[in-house]
Amino acid sequence: MSGDNLYLLSALPTLGELGSAPPMPLAALLERFIDSGGNRDLLEALLLSDDLLQRQAVLSGEIEQTEPAVLTPAQVRDEEPLPEFLVPGGSDTISQSALDAVWESYYIYVAVVATECRSDFLTKWAQYEVGLRNALVIARAKSLNLDPQEYLVAQWIGGAKEDFSGMISEWTSAPDPFAGLRVLDEARWNWLRGNDGWFTFGDDEVVAYGAKLMLLHRWHRLGREVPVQADKAAAD
């Protein structure tokens, strides 16, 4: 048990339910974790996923405002190259295959960090996220009559024991993409609640707190951007 984590976790603001306002920036959590003596590699590996999501949303024109915690704002806007470990072969294109390659490199990086730091939570989180991502790829490919093998990432990481069939069925039955995303993120939220190591006061518990905080920030951004997208659609 880490005394610093005991103090840190006691001082961190309480998180509300999914959809509530995030009580602090992700970068502030990272700074406080580092200041308390936590393993920065663990939390940075997790928070990097949110930076990459923001980057992808910027490149697709979905959002304009960004708040990266690990990458620089210029890297998120694709004005500077990503870290070399995220860009296999040094490709600077932004095609779908290049984006998939970045995500595969990311999950491999997370798996390595989790192993080196002996993080049970980060290992399981990577398995869950890869498994869910690939399950969605297979479902989408089936509906479009495409070969899913071209779009799957880091298959050796995905947890074989996780059953996503019920979630995928609910996702495909959602009335709109926003409702479908809510299905997925509620499942993520429930998974985090069951794997957050509550009251262990280890680094993993702080990283799990960060994973929940990421989801709150994602939904805060969605709430900010969805009305804009709706207005654009109405204008068209």
Whether 16 maps to a domain, the answer reads no
Total tally of structural domains belonging to the chain: 1
Whether 158 maps to a domain, the answer reads yes
Whether 15 maps to a domain, the answer reads no
Q: What is the pLDDT of residue 89?
A: 61
Q: What is the pLDDT of residue 158?
A: 78
Q: What is the pLDDT of residue 126?
A: 96
Whether 235 maps to a domain, the answer reads no
Q: What is the pLDDT of residue 232?
A: 42
Q: What is the pLDDT of residue 15?
A: 97
Q: Taking the CA atoms of the chain, what radius of gyration do you get in angstroms?
A: 18
Please check whether residue 62 is in contact with residue 225, taking contact to mean a CB–CB distance below 8 angstroms.
yes
Q: What is the pLDDT of residue 229?
A: 44
Whether 6 maps to a domain, the answer reads no
What gap in Å lies between CA 42 and CA 210, rounded to an integer?
Answer: 10
What gap in Å lies between CA 64 and CA 45, rounded to an integer?
Answer: 24
Whether 104 maps to a domain, the answer reads yes
Which structural domain range is residue 141 located in?
25-225
Q: How many CA atoms lie within 13 A of 38 on its CB side?
A: 28
Whether 17 maps to a domain, the answer reads no
Whether 200 maps to a domain, the answer reads yes
Q: Which stretches of the chain drop beneath a pLDDT of 70?
A: 1-3, 89-95, 159-160, 224-236
Q: Which two tokens stand for residue 110?
A: 């997370």
Prediction pTM value:
0.89
By CB atoms closer than 10 A (0-12, 13-18, 19+), residue 1 is exposed
